[in-house]
Structure 1
Amino acid sequence: MSQPREIVPGATYLLTRRVLRRHLLLRPDAAINQLLVYALAVSARRYGVEVHALCAMSTHLHLVVTDAQGVLPRFLQFFHRIVALGTKVLRKWEGPVWDHEATSVVRLLTQAAVVEKIAYVLANPVAAGLVRHAREWPGAKVEVGELGRGALYATRPSAYLDPKNPQWAEEATLPLALPPGIEQENAEGFRDAVAAELERQEAQAHAELEGQGRRFLGADRASEVSPYERAMSFEGLRARNPTFAVGREQGDARRTAAAAVRAFRVSYRAALERWCAGVRSVLFPVGTWWMRTFHGVSVDGAVLAA
């Protein structure tokens, strides 16, 4: 049985979703970029999700978002469905688009973690050996200077979305929000911190590729590869599935977070066992989502609406 997922309103996450068998279905081009930005803008507005960073790689998507209303699973389901169905039309693709593994959801518990993971998202094309600097990547992305003050814009894609359906507006704009806890007067310092971390990660990627005797593919060649090919570079088995991050050299925060995750799971399992035994009055811990949404269980003494 999979571990229960704790969904807390106002939490910030690094989200990653991978394409089936590392096919290059999201290879950057105008149509795919338009689909991704439009779908993200519509989905974020529908579920009140604040978007901080985005990088669409050919084989996977990275996002950093804040789930203001505590409805992250609904947002992911809606967003990924639009992207998958639109991609199937654009690529004339039969079968699944997404990998069978669930979306990686990593809760970012400190400002250090937010800075590091946003830089990680932006640096992804560099770490993959595709472009020398993050700003050169031709896929849908956010740049450092846009953090907390820019916006992404797209018109409605012609693929899949019915122009007669009122839920698909002709245009969609996605404002880029500052992460929680960062005020406007501190925004420039936050962007400077992300820029410094991005520079560090880019330099690390440069050193690793040089050590391997490899060269960067380049934006033009990355845009010209067939979307039906697969990434063939070595990728180790994903043995770890982290649920939170606190940033480097944050030992006390890591121990506190790990203890909180264990406490939630223990409490959830105990409540679920009693509920399965027929005790419908049992209280589930704060952060319970699935059982509250689909079975209306009590959380903190009140039965919350789905």
Structure 2
Amino acid sequence: MSQPREIAPGATYLITRRVLRRHLLFRPDAVITQLLVYTLAVSTRRYGIEVHAFCAMSSHLHIVVTDTNGVLPRFLQFFHRIVALGTKVLRRWEGPVWDHEATSVVRLLTRAAVVEKIAYVLANPVAAGLVRHAHEWPGAKVHVSELGNGVLRAARPTAYLDPKNPQWPEEVTLSLALPPVIEQDGAEDFGREVTAELQRQEAQAHARIQQEGLRFLGADRASKISPYERAKTFESLRDRNPTFAVGHDQGDTWRIAAAAVRAFRASYRAALHRWCAGVRSAVFPAGTWWMRMFHGASVSHVVRTM
């Protein structure tokens, strides 16, 4: 049984979803970039999700978003389904598109965590040894200069989506928003902080690749590689699936956040035990989503703070 997850309106997350067996189905060419940007724009508008950063790697997607309305599972279900169906048509792919592991959803609790994870998303093509600098990546992405003010645009893909269906407009735009924690604390230094962290992560990747005697693949070759190949670089088994991040040097913040997660899970399980025993008056903790949406369970209105 998977751990219960708190879904809190206004929470900011780093979301990662991987392609089955690390196939390169999202190879950065024009048709897949169009599909990903278009689908992301339609899906976020449908569910009121704010996008802060985005990078489509050949074998996985990274997005940093804020779930304004507390409907993240609905958004992920819709977005991932349309991406998968569109990809199957574009790539003439039989079988599943997504990895069988659950989507990684990491809640970003501090400004430091937001800065570090956004830089991580932007630096991903560099860390993977594909391009020397983040801005060289040819796939769907957000540039550091676009944070909080950029706009992504895409026309409706000709594959899969029905032009007669009003939910698929001919063209869409996606305005990039500042994360709430940045808006609250001031945005003046945000771009500089992300840029500095991005440069640090790029330099770290350069040093590692040089030490290992490797070379960057380059944008041109990355765009032309077969989408049916699989990533060959070593990747350790994903035995950790973090729930939240607080960033480096945040004092007791991690300990407090971990205690809050444990308290939510304990409260949830106690309520679930009563529910399974037939007590339909059991009250689940604030942030409970599945039991509220699909079983009509009562949920506390007392919101915990991490």
**Which TM-score applies when normalising by structure 1?**
0.97
- Deviation, structure 1 residue 243: 0.3
What residue in structure 2 maps to residue 180 of structure 1?
180
Q: Distance in 2 between matches of 1:293 and 1:184?
A: 31
Which amino acid in structure 1 is aligned with residue 166 of structure 2?
A: P
Which amino acid in structure 1 is aligned with residue 100 of structure 2?
A: H
8 Å Cα contact 2:84-2:98 kept in structure 1: yes
Unaligned 5+ runs, structure 1: none
- Deviation, structure 1 residue 189: 1.1
1:129 aligns with 2:126: no
Matches within 5 A, 1:275-290: 275-290=275-290
What residue in structure 1 maps to residue 249 of structure 2?
249
1:258 aligns with 2:258: yes
Which amino acid in structure 2 is aligned with residue 175 of structure 1?
A: S
Secondary structure of the 1:63 match is strand
- Deviation, structure 1 residue 172: 0.6
Task: Give aligned pairs, total.
Answer: 302
1:4 aligns with 2:4: yes
Secondary structure of the 2:187 match is helix
What residue in structure 1 maps to residue 239 of structure 2?
239
Secondary structure of the 1:187 match is coil
1:83 aligns with 2:83: yes
Aligned-residue CA RMSD (Å): 1.2
Matches within 5 A, 1:1-306: 1-183=1-183, 186-300=186-300
1:155-190 CA distance string (max 9 Å, x none): 000010000001000001000000003239933410
Which amino acid in structure 1 is aligned with residue 223 of structure 2?
A: S
Which amino acid in structure 1 is aligned with residue 209 of structure 2?
A: L
Unaligned 5+ runs, structure 2: none
8 Å Cα contact 2:10-2:68 kept in structure 1: yes
8 Å Cα contact 2:17-2:98 kept in structure 1: yes
**Which TM-score applies when normalising by structure 2?**
0.97
Secondary structure of the 2:163 match is coil
1:7-48 CA distance string (max 9 Å, x none): 000000000000000000000000000000000000000000
1:244-286 CA distance string (max 9 Å, x none): 0000112310000000000000000000000000110011000
Q: Distance in 2 between matches of 1:99 and 1:280?
A: 36
